[in-house]
């Protein structure tokens, strides 16, 4: 009898062949004769007729299992020494392939799996295809080696596990996964293609390693998709794909090769996408990219160029605490002259670092767009020339080591004008260009005044609509009074940035008071036009008085003289104080 012992401890019941301890199934010899092959084939037919599908440990040299109906088949530890085909076969009950070895091509085309299928620690040393196969129950490929695997037009109605597997090449084409699928901790050595695929439930590529390019083409992800802690060492392409649920690539490593790319072209995200704590070493491109939810690149590192071209993000595109070591472009190379669609509700670059130029030139950001660079550092140039910001633009606490270029920039919101001019003022102050800094300080304060007025007007509108007439009239008086004072500071004193208005106002006030003094002194004169000395004395008195010098006093109306003199001297003190502040700001700053 055969000395082979099965996994369950039972001994093989087949008779051993001549001069051997093993039967026709478990006998292994490199010089296996044709006569023995024929004998083995006859034995296989006999087992099939008897509905005995236990081929554990069998050394099968030349047999095809085409269109057979297997029930609880067992190919554990089997070895196939030639091409083998299971094409058109059906597998009922439990299907077991543990540590099975396929030395040459194998085909499971058009197979139908009705029960649970186990493919554990299998080695496919040549091509294997599961094209047009149907899996009605769970299927597990665990720790399996695939030299070249193809799943085309395959349907998986239940869960599928392809975990801890090693794929040299895998092609999955026009396949539907109705339930959970997991590639957890698998490695892909050569190019792999996922073309025209539908993932209906949770899809797990966690801790996978892609050593060559991976392509997701025309793929639908309807469940949560996870690439957490995966490693992509070559190009990654997502093209013409849709995500209906959340996707996560957080804590992954992308592209050690500096020439590698990560691209998403013509893709749509309908739910969350997590891309945090990823290092992108090659070119990263999001082209014709659409997301209805937040896209979060927080804590990522971009060592290669990042290209955002024709993208639509209905909520937030977040780059918080991100390091940009290369260019960030909103167009593809060679398409700078074309206007690109940039439909983003919130574009956040908060607390990020830019080591290359950032260009946002010739763009129109809509009213729904919020652009934020809070606390970011620019070690190169920030260029936003000829752009129009209709929504929010937040440049608070930014630091620019390079050039800040903003020619012909138009900002519609007054609150954002204030923030923008504050950032420009701080930039020029760091460069020591105080005259340019003063110009932006003036624009900053002007925008603040208009913004405050808008708030007060909105509050008054609410009071008016609520028919609170008393408070409405009181607020109207406060608003007009505040506007009067603010306009004087703005138009006359230019918020302390220029002495020209102060000097002109000084001359004008002296002239006005000189005219008043002339009028009261000349009341007793009969011919006013000939009394030129009276005019000169009145002007001299007015200007010396406003300068604080005691020159003389009015001959007529001594009480009025005292009152006017006090008023003019107070005005003079005010003007001199303002002038002193202006001179100090402009010429004494270091």
pLDDT in tens, 297-347: 888 888 888 888 777 777 788 888 888 888 887 765 444 444 445 567 778
Which of 401 and 315 is assigned the larger pLDDT? 401
pLDDT over threshold 60, residue 77: yes
Whether 576 shows a pLDDT value over 50: the answer reads yes
Q: What is the structure's pLDDT at 96?
A: 95
pLDDT, position 133: 96
For residues 38-53, average pLDDT: 89
Mean pLDDT of 157-185: 94
Which pLDDT belongs to residue 185?
A: 94
Angle at 550 between CA 548 and CA 554, to 5 degrees: 115
Q: Residue 311: its pLDDT value, please?
A: 77
Beta strands in 196-294 (DSSP E): 198-199, 203-204, 209-210, 214-217, 220-221, 225-226, 231-232, 236-239, 242-243, 247-248, 253-254, 261-265, 268-269, 273-274, 279-280, 283-287, 290-291
Query: What is the average per-residue pLDDT within 511-536?
Result: 65
- H/E segment holding residue 564: helix 558-587
Q: Tell me the average pLDDT across 394-415.
A: 84
Q: How much is the pLDDT for 532? A: 63
Three-state DSSP string of 94-161: CEEEECCEECCCEECCCCEECCCEEEECCEEEEEEECCCCEECCCEEEECCEEEEEEEECCEECCCEE
Greatest alpha-carbon pair distance for the chain in Å reads 156
CB 138 within 8 A of CB 156: no
Mean pLDDT of 362-367: 76
DSSP string of 287-300, one letter each residue: ES-EESS-EE-TT-
Q: What is the pLDDT of residue 529?
A: 47
Residue 266 backbone phi and psi in degrees, to 5: 55, 45
Evaluate whether 123 touches 102 at the Cβ level (below 8 Å): yes
Name the residue with tokens 């946002």: 360
pLDDT given for residue 525 in this prediction: 55
Rounded Cα distance, 324 and 326, in Å? 6
Highest mean pLDDT among 444-453, 496-505, 533-542, 573-582: 444-453
Instruction: Return the H-helix or E-strand segment holding 171.
Output: strand 166-173
The residue-averaged pLDDT of 167-174 equals 93
Contact 309, 286 (CB under 8 A): yes
pLDDT in tens, 487-513: 666 666 666 666 676 777 777 877 887
Question: Rounded to an integer, what distance in angstroms lies between the CA atom of residue 217 and that of residue 558?
Answer: 96
| Length of the chain counted residue by residue | 590
Element (H, E) at 163: strand 160-163
- Look at strands 301-302 and 323-324 and give their pairing: parallel
* Cβ–Cβ under 8 Å, residues 383 and 360: yes
- Rounded-to-integer distance, Cα 150 and Cα 108, Å: 10
pLDDT number for residue 177: 94
Per-residue pLDDT, 516: 76
Q: What are phi and psi of 87, to 5 degrees?
A: -60, 130
Contacts of 454 (CB under 8 A, 6+ apart): 414
Count of CB atoms situated within 10 Å of the CB of 394: 19
Cβ atoms of residues 75 and 96 within 8 Å: yes
Residue 286 corresponds to which tokens in the numbers above? 């999001």
User: Which residues are CB-contacts of 313 (< 8 A; sequence separation ≥ 6)?
Assistant: 289, 290, 291, 294, 295, 343, 344, 345, 346, 347
Mean pLDDT of 363-380: 83
Half-sphere exposure of 103 (CA within 13 A, CB side): 10
**Cα gap 42→49, rounded to integer Å:** 11
User: How big is the CA angle at 132 (ends 131 and 133), to the nearest 5 degrees?
Assistant: 90
What percent of the chain is predicted at pLDDT more than 90? 25
Integer Cα distance of 231 and 211 in angstroms = 8
pLDDT, average across residues 31-59: 85
Element holding 187 (H helix, E strand): strand 187-188
Rank 224-228, 445-449, 484-488 by mean pLDDT and report only the highest. 224-228
Structure tokens at 51: 């509905």
The mean of the pLDDT values for the chain is 80
Residues 6+ apart with CB under 8 A from 472: 460, 463, 464
User: Binning pLDDT at 50, 70 and 90, where does residue 171 land?
Assistant: very high
Beta bridge partners of 210: 188, 232
Least confident of 53-67, 106-120, 350-364: 350-364
Q: What is the structure's pLDDT at 463?
A: 62
Mean pLDDT of 203-217: 90
| pLDDT (0 to 100) of residue 335 | 43
Least confident range from 188-197, 332-341, 453-462, 557-566: namely: 332-341
Please say whether the beta carbons of 496 and 505 come within 8 A: no
According to DSSP, residue 72 is labeled S
- Give mean pLDDT, residues 452-458: 73
CB 414 within 8 Å of CB 451: yes
Q: Among candidates 113, 109, 110, 190, which has minimal Cα distance to 146?
A: 190
Q: Name the pLDDT band for 168 (thresholds 50, 70, 90).
A: very high
What is the structure's pLDDT at 18?
74
Residue 489 has a pLDDT of: 64
Contacts of 67 (CB under 8 A, 6+ apart): 87, 88, 89
**Of 226, 222, 185, nearest in space to 204 by CA:** 226
Q: In whole angstroms, give the CA distance from residue 568 to residue 576.
A: 12
Do 96 and 116 contact (CB within 8 A), yes or no? no
Rg (CA), the chain: 42
Where residue 78 falls among pLDDT bands split at 50, 70, 90? Answer: very high
């Amino acid at each position: 009898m055969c000395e082979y012992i099965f996994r369950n401890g039972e001994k093989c019941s087949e008779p051993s062949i001549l001069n051997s301890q093993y039967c026709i199934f478990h006998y292994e010899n490199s010089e296996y004769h044709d006569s023995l092959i024929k004998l083995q084939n006859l034995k296989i037919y006999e087992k099939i007729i008897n509905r005995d599908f236990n081929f554990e440990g069998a050394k099968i040299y030349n047999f095809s299992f085409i269109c057979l109906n297997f029930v609880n088949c067992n190919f554990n530890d089997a070895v196939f020494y030639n091409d083998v085909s299971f094409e058109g076969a059906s597998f009922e009950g439990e299907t077991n392939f543990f540590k099975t070895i396929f030395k040459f091509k194998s085909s499971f085309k058009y197979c139908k799996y009705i029960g649970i299928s186990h493919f554990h620690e299998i080695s496919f040393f040549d091509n294997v295809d599961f094209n047009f196969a149907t899996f009605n129950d769970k299927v597990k490929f665990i720790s399996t080696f695939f030299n070249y695997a193809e799943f085309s037009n395959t349907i998986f109605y239940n869960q599928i596990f392809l975990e801890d597997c090693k794929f040299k090449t895998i092609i999955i084409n026009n396949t539907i996964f109705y339930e959970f699928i997991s590639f957890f901790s698998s490695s892909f050595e050569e190019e792999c293609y996922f073309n025209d695929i539908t993932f209906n439930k949770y899809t797990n590529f966690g801790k996978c390693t892609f050593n060559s390019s991976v392509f997701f083409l025309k793929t639908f992800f309807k469940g949560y998709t996870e690439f957490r802690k995966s490693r992509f060492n070559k190009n990654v392409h997502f093209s013409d794909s849709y995500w209906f649920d959340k996707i996560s690539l957080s804590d992954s490593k992308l592209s050690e090769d500096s020439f590698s790319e990560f691209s998403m072209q013509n893709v749509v995200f309908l739910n969350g996408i997590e891309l945090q704590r990823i290092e992108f070493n090659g070119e990263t491109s999001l082209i014709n990219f659409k997301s209805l939810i937040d896209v979060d690149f927080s804590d990522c590192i971009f060592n290669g160029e990042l290209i955002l071209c024709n993208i639509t993000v209905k909520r937030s595109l977040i780059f918080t605490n991100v390091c940009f070591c290369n260019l960030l472009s909103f167009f593809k190379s060679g398409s700078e002259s074309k206007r690109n669609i940039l439909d983003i509700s919130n574009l956040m670059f908060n607390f990020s670092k830019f080591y290359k130029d950032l260009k946002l030139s010739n763009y129109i950001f809509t009213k729904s767009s919020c652009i934020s660079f809070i606390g970011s550092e620019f070690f190169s140039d920030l260029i936003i020339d000829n752009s129009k910001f209709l929504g929010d633009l937040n440049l608070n606490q930014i630091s620019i080591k390079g050039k800040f270029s903003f020619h012909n920039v138009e900002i519609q919101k007054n609150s954002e004008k204030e923030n923008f001019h504050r950032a420009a003022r701080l930039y020029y102050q760091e460069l020591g260009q105080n005259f340019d800094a003063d110009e932006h300080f003036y624009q900053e304060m002007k925008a603040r005044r208009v913004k405050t007025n808008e708030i007060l007007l909105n509050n008054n509108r609410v009071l008016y609509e609520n028919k609170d007439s008393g408070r409405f009239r009181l607020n109207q008086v406060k608003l007009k009074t505040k506007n009067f004072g603010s306009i004087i500071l703005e138009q006359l004193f230019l918020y302390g940035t220029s002495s020209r208005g102060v000097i002109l106002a000084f001359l004008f006030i002296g002239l006005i008071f000189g005219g008043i003094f002339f009028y009261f002194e000349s009341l007793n004169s009969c011919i006013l036009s000939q009394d030129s000395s009276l005019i000169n004395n009145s002007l001299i008195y007015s200007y010396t008085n406003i300068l604080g010098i005691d020159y003389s006093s009015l001959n007529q109306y001594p009480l009025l003289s005292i009152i006017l003199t006090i008023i003019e001297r107070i005005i003079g003190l005010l003007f001199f104080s303002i002038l002193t502040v202006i001179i100090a700001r402009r010429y004494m700053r270091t």
